[in-house]
């Protein structure tokens, strides 16, 4: 773990008042514990089982964010405690999250994951799909979810202009939703974008939440 880098990132995000999600996937619980002792509260995982294991083991003062692609049948395991779900990419998934949140007597905070990259492998809504969903009667009945904003992953490329364009398109869509569908809703406030390789670009394009793993915890042994 690179504690110096951690503090450097905190200093960089400070003027933007953005939130750092420390992405601890594939890393041992002891790494999370060490960073938590250094003051970090928010951690991100992309596998439900791994997050639940770490939740059980570690202090309950930690806030857990699910940042990965989510299968509906796994939602129930994290529903009692997950603090923010970044990767919501369908109405079906949102309905399951609503159902499990209701069972736990919670209102679940979520972000809508938008497809902003040019790669086939990235998940997410198209803008038209979100607009249609927000308009639907089904969406209006979901009393146990609260949409806090949007999330996106830029293309994995060295082309800075392209990454900038992708981030700014997410920012533009957030602004549009903010002004219309979510107008007057103060909770709708988050744009989750930016990872180890592109978080500074993301902050410049309006990110409020960066998800950084390898810069803090070191390279992962395998891609998850």
Ligand X SMILES: *Cc1c(COP(=O)(O)O)cnc(C)c1O
What lies within 8 Å, CB to CB, of 33 at 6+ separation is 58, 59
Distances (CA, A) of 76 to 63, 79, 206: 17, 5, 33
Q: Does residue 67 bind ligand X (CB under 6 A)?
A: yes
The reply to whether 20 sits near ligand X by the rule CB under 6 A is: no
- Nearer Cβ to ligand X (113/142): 113
Tell which one of 18, 19, 25, 117 touches ligand X (CB under 6 A): 25
- Tell me the two tokens of residue 9: 């990132």
Residue 65 contacts ligand X per CB under 6 A: no
212 binds ligand X (CB under 6 A): yes
- Binding of ligand X by 122 (CB under 6 A): no
The greatest distance separating any two alpha carbons of the chain, rounded to the nearest whole angstrom, comes to 49
Residues 172-211 that bind ligand X (CB under 6 A): 195-197, 211
Which range in 34-42, 116-124, 139-147, 213-221 contacts ligand X by CB under 6 A? 213-221
Cα–Cα dist 56/59, whole Å: 8
| 169: Cβ contacts below 8 Å, ≥ 6 apart | 116
Nearest approach, Cβ of residue 116 and ligand X (Å)? 12
User: Residue 62, interface with ligand X (CB under 6 A)?
Assistant: no
CB 34 within 8 A of CB 1: yes
Region at 154 (left for phi over 0; alpha for psi -120 to 50; beta for the rest): beta
Of 43 and 174, the one with the shorter C-beta distance to ligand X is 43
When binding is defined by CB under 6 A, the residue of 19, 24, 46, 108 that contacts ligand X is: 46
Residues within the interface to ligand X (CB under 6 A): 23, 25, 46, 67-68, 153, 195-197, 211-215
């Amino acid at each position: 773990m690179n504690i110096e880098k951690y503090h450097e990132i905190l200093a960089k995000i400070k003027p933007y008042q953005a939130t750092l999600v420390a992405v601890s996937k594939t890393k041992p619980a002891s790494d999370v514990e060490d960073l938590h002792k250094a003051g970090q509260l928010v951690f991100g995982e992309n596998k439900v089982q791994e997050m639940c294991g770490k939740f059980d083991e570690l202090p309950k003062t930690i806030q857990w964010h699910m940042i990965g692609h989510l299968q509906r049948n796994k939602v129930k395991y994290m529903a009692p405690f997950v603090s923010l779900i970044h990767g919501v990419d369908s109405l079906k998934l949102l309905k399951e999250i609503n159902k499990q949140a209701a069972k736990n007597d919670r209102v679940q905070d979520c972000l809508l994951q938008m497809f902003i990259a040019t790669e086939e492998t990235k998940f997410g809504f198209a803008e038209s799909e979100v607009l249609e969903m927000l308009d639907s009667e089904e969406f209006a009945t979901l009393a146990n979810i609260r949409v806090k904003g949007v999330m996106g992953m830029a293309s994995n490329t060295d082309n800075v202009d392209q990454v900038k364009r992708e981030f700014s398109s997410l920012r533009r869509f957030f602004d549009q939703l903010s002004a219309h569908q979510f107008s007057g809703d103060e909770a709708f406030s988050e744009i989750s974008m930016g990872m180890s390789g592109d978080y500074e670009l993301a902050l410049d394009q309006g990110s409020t939440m960066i998800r950084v793993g390898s810069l803090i915890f070191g390279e992962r042994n395998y891609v998850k």
